[in-house]
Amino acid sequence: MSELRKDLVSGRWVIIATERSKRPDDFRPSGGMARIPEAVGFCPFCEGNEGKTPPEVFALRGAGTAPDSPGWSVRVVPNKFPALNRGTPPPKATQGVFQWMEGTGVHEVVIENTDHALELSDLSIPHIRDVLRVFQQRIKTIEGELHYQYVQLFKNKGKEAGASLSHPHSQIVATPIIPKRVKEEIYGADRLFRSFKECAFCRILREEEAAGKRLIERNRHFAVVAPYASRFPFEMAVYPLRHSPSFTDVAEDELLTLAETMKHILTRLKDTIGDPPYNMVLHQAPNPSLSLKGWPNIDKNYHWHLEIFPILTKVAGFEWGTGFYINPVPPETAAQFLRQT
Amino acid sequence: MSELRKDLVSGRWVIIATERSKRPDDFRPSGGMARIPEAVGFCPFCEGNEGKTPPEVFALRGAGTAPDSPGWSVRVVPNKFPALNRGTPPPKATQGVFQWMEGTGVHEVVIENTDHALELSDLSIPHIRDVLRVFQQRIKTIEGELHYQYVQLFKNKGKEAGASLSHPHSQIVATPIIPKRVKEEIYGADRLFRSFKECAFCRILREEEAAGKRLIERNRHFAVVAPYASRFPFEMAVYPLRHSPSFTDVAEDELLTLAETMKHILTRLKDTIGDPPYNMVLHQAPNPSLSLKGWPNIDKNYHWHLEIFPILTKVAGFEWGTGFYINPVPPETAAQFLRQT
């Protein structure tokens, strides 16, 4: 029998389709453990090719090395084909009945390491911590410019997940408008706060720790769960145990634990279903430098988190039509496998 | 310069990314006009193989032919691996803090014709009308059972669009809950009704007819537009000119015009970008047999429509994180090409 489950914060329902139930091996590429690596031609993100990207805006690099030259470990460059271009956002305008704005914003690429073949999960824990620290620094710097209401960090790994270059990288897009999904989560969390009398994410985390069956990892600072209403097989969510609306607020010692947590879960994902393409997205509070009139109390109600989901099923007509999802792997099963490996 | 555009009804913003601008030819499969057809092994939807599907629930078939035997032109069968199973939906329950329901619903497949190689757009206009009529009849019948709040009709064409079988077919899924996207549209349309003093869709249609540049087709009964805030390259929306919340309400003569309209636009899509995979979804009012307490006036405010979008770009981290979309083809360009052919 299938089940319908509701994601409390977003209000989205998912169908856990047991008739279509699948095991991890069903998602492995056929013919063995490893997916065939994509052919690597010329790569503008590899060390030595710094001249082939727009000039770097930030880098962790060895003493005495010049910008846009070898010697870096993490490097940030503007996207060569930006979705949005830097600039002061003009006020919203209209075109007939429609609402319109000039497409101003920021679009940067964080090149996570020099070696094309080393994925985020292959890096050392201190190196992953460095990548996370660079994420924090870039987000803070962009937020300081005050033009942008939200800074979206995300990672596309693998062609099926939307990566056009295979060299490990993440992306940062700042928008002059608060994204629809973030707004939904903020308002959903506010509604739940009124009934729970506490942050909904904190409450859900406590429930998940007590239930245990969807818990993938828990350490001093973070918990990773297979969400109750997972949209996708082997979806994971990383939450800080300490209530906080902003990833940029993660302290130095917490950052090292986060790096360790990410290394664990990404390695487990790889071991469980064979290095799948995946997306990772950060959800946190809008730009704290701006005051949002009429919005709920985000500091109290909202709780930053990372969503990580391998791309194993297709989003199709049903999902587009309804905004609901069909997931053939119950999160309890996913958590069991992601814990075991 | 990129643009940000808002979809009035859903509140979703999209980025029209001119820096990433593409022309129709960029979306054609490389090496010529036609995509390579998928290898056809055994097909349970082909005529003669009726015994390989669950028993039909409806069919248009020649006089004297028996159910589940050859002689049909359109055939409806339950999905062999249903996402939801028929049954009375039990009341919502909880699992700890979470909301849960048994997965009851309907999941049917409409096999559009006997010939594996003939896509919807290849069929004669009267045959397409028959398919549309079968859609109406099945939706009405399922709505009559009263268990389901919404009946979602959709079509996945091609593997990238989520089709697991290549024989031309559509699907019907009835859910005991009104889908998130439909709810958003109903509430969005209600807000707009209060400012426009008329149905927002009727108003937008009038604007699009006056502007002309996003209009793809217009006839006695229907208009097809490239939506102002198109999420995807070559996205199309089909609207009835006569205000109506329900597709099931389309009259017999209108249905023939709709069939003609669909044949035109699907053929144009094929000619423009070379038979792409696509999704089609119907948005209409929830089950009219049920009374929805506390909801807006759906009859007055909501306007049924079909959304059709080829799958040419990937939904990736940015879209998942924000709920916004990046579209490299302005709808004005899309409309120009879809009109020209």
Confidence of residue B32 (pLDDT cuts 50, 70, 90): very low
Give the pLDDT confidence of B65-85 residue by residue, as tens digits: 999 999 999 999 999 999 999
pLDDT for the residue numbered A104: 93
Alpha-carbon A222 to chain mean position? 15
Question: In angstroms, rounded to a whole number, what is the distance separating the alpha carbons of residues B284 and B243?
Answer: 12
Task: Assess whether pLDDT exceeds 90 at residue B30.
Answer: no
Q: What single letter denotes the amino acid at residue B308?
A: I
Three-state DSSP at B32 gives coil
* Among candidate residues A191, A190, A196, A202, the one with its CA nearest the CA of residue A240: A202
- Please state the rounded mean pLDDT for residues A298-312: 97
- Are A139 and A153 a contacting pair, CB within 8 Å? yes
Task: Assess whether pLDDT exceeds 80 at residue A146.
Answer: no
Decide which of B66 and A30 is more confident. Answer: B66
CA angle B138/B143/B148 to nearest 5° reads 120
Q: Which residue of B has its CA nearest to A307?
A: B321
Decide which of A179 and B18 is more confident. Answer: A179
Kindly state the DSSP code that residue A301 receives in the 8-state scheme.
H
State residue B83 phi and psi, 5-degree precision: -70, -35
Confidence of residue B279 (pLDDT cuts 50, 70, 90): very high
Kindly state the DSSP code that residue B335 receives in the 8-state scheme.
H
- Residue A228 C-alpha, separation from nearest chain B C-alpha, in angstroms: 8
- Please state the rounded mean pLDDT for residues A264-291: 95
Of A18, A19, A155, which to mutate for an interface test with B (greatest number of B Cβ within 10 Å)? A19
Task: Kindly report the number of other CB atoms within 10 A of residue B126's CB atom.
Answer: 11
Task: Assess whether pLDDT exceeds 90 at residue A38.
Answer: no
pLDDT for the residue numbered B38: 62
Question: In angstroms, rounded to a whole number, what is the distance separating the alpha carbons of residues A163 and A277?
Answer: 9
Alpha helices in chain B (DSSP H): 24-27, 125-144, 180-196, 200-211, 252-273, 298-301, 317-322, 331-340
Question: In angstroms, rounded to a whole number, what is the distance separating the alpha carbons of residues B161 and B309?
Answer: 10
- Please state the rounded mean pLDDT for residues B262-276: 95
Percentage of chain B modeled with pLDDT above 70: 96
Task: Assess whether pLDDT exceeds 60 at residue A128.
Answer: yes
pLDDT for the residue numbered B31: 47
- Are B251 and B275 a contacting pair, CB within 8 Å? no
pLDDT for the residue numbered A28: 80
Question: In angstroms, rounded to a whole number, what is the distance separating the alpha carbons of residues A284 and A107?
Answer: 18
Question: In angstroms, rounded to a whole number, what is the distance separating the alpha carbons of residues A336 and B278?
Answer: 36
pLDDT for the residue numbered B37: 60
Do the strands B98-102 and B93-95 form a parallel or antiparallel pair, or are they unpaired? antiparallel
Give the pLDDT confidence of B11-21 residue by residue, as tens digits: 999 999 976 67
Question: In angstroms, rounded to a whole number, what is the distance separating the alpha carbons of residues A92 and A265?
Answer: 42
Of A3, A202, A324, which to mutate for an interface test with B (greatest number of B Cβ within 10 Å)? A324
Give the pLDDT confidence of B142-174 residue by residue, as tens digits: 999 878 999 999 999 999 999 999 999 999 999
Provide the number of CB pairs (under 8 Å) joining chain A to chain B. Answer: 238
Cα separations in angstroms, B28 against A64, B22, B25, B277? 48, 11, 5, 11
Do the strands A13-16 and A325-327 form a parallel or antiparallel pair, or are they unpaired? parallel
- Residue B46 C-alpha, separation from nearest chain A C-alpha, in angstroms: 22
* Among candidate residues A153, A142, A121, A137, the one with its CA nearest the CA of residue A305: A153
CATH number of A3-340: 3.30.428.10
State residue B201 phi and psi, 5-degree precision: -70, -40
pLDDT for the residue numbered A32: 46
Write down the mean pLDDT value for chain B: 94
pLDDT for the residue numbered B39: 63
* Cβ–Cβ gap B102/A4 under 8 Å: yes
* Cβ–Cβ gap A204/B97 under 8 Å: yes
- Are B140 and B287 a contacting pair, CB within 8 Å? no
Three-state DSSP at A79 gives coil
Decide which of A167 and B23 is more confident. Answer: A167
Give the pLDDT confidence of B207-257 residue by residue, as tens digits: 999 999 999 999 999 999 999 999 999 999 999 999 999 999 999 999 999
- Residue A248 C-alpha, separation from nearest chain B C-alpha, in angstroms: 17
User: What residues does each domain of chain A span?
Assistant: 3-340
pLDDT for the residue numbered A248: 98
- Residues forming beta bridges with residue B306, ordered by sequence position: B238, B282
Alpha-carbon B97 to chain mean position? 35
Of B5, B99, B169, B304, which to mutate for an interface test with A (greatest number of A Cβ within 10 Å)? B99
- Residue A70 C-alpha, separation from nearest chain B C-alpha, in angstroms: 29
Question: In angstroms, rounded to a whole number, what is the distance separating the alpha carbons of residues A317 and B282?
Answer: 9
Would you state the structure tokens that stand for residue A243, as one six-digit string?
């209530």
Confidence of residue A270 (pLDDT cuts 50, 70, 90): very high
Contact list, B215 vs chain A (CB under 8 Å): none
- Please state the rounded mean pLDDT for residues B332-340: 93
* Cβ–Cβ gap B4/A161 under 8 Å: no
Question: In angstroms, rounded to a whole number, what is the distance separating the alpha carbons of residues A41 and A52?
Answer: 14
- Please state the rounded mean pLDDT for residues A127-133: 98
Could you give the residue numbers annotated as active site of A? 169
Q: Which residue of A has its CA nearest to B19?
A: A81
Kindly state the DSSP code that residue B161 receives in the 8-state scheme.
G
Those residues whose C-beta lies under 8 Å from the C-beta of residue B163, and which sit 6 or more positions away, are: A316, B156, B157, B169, B277
Give the pLDDT confidence of A55-105 residue by residue, as tens digits: 999 999 999 999 999 999 999 999 999 999 998 877 888 999 999 999 999
Percentage of chain A modeled with pLDDT above 70: 96
Q: Is A141 exposed, middle or buried (0-12, 13-18, 19+ CB in 10 A)?
A: middle
pLDDT for the residue numbered A307: 98
Do the strands B150-157 and B278-283 form a parallel or antiparallel pair, or are they unpaired? antiparallel
- Residues forming beta bridges with residue B3, ordered by sequence position: A102, B16
Which of B161, B180, B318 is facing A12, going by the closest CB pair?
Answer: B180
Which of B100, B162, B163 is facing A5, going by the closest CB pair?
Answer: B100
Give B133's Cβ-side CA count (13 Å radius): 17
* Cβ–Cβ gap B314/A8 under 8 Å: no
Kindly state the DSSP code that residue B141 receives in the 8-state scheme.
H
Question: In angstroms, rounded to a whole number, what is the distance separating the alpha carbons of residues A272 and A157?
Answer: 17
Write down the mean pLDDT value for chain A: 94
- Please state the rounded mean pLDDT for residues B265-283: 96
Could you give the residue numbers annotated as active site of B? 169
Torsion, Cα of B44, B47, B52, B57 (10° steps): 110
- Please state the rounded mean pLDDT for residues B8-33: 79
Confidence of residue B341 (pLDDT cuts 50, 70, 90): low
Which of A153, A163, A180 is facing B323, going by the closest CB pair?
Answer: A180
pLDDT for the residue numbered B34: 55
Give the pLDDT confidence of B111-130 residue by residue, as tens digits: 999 999 999 999 999 999 99
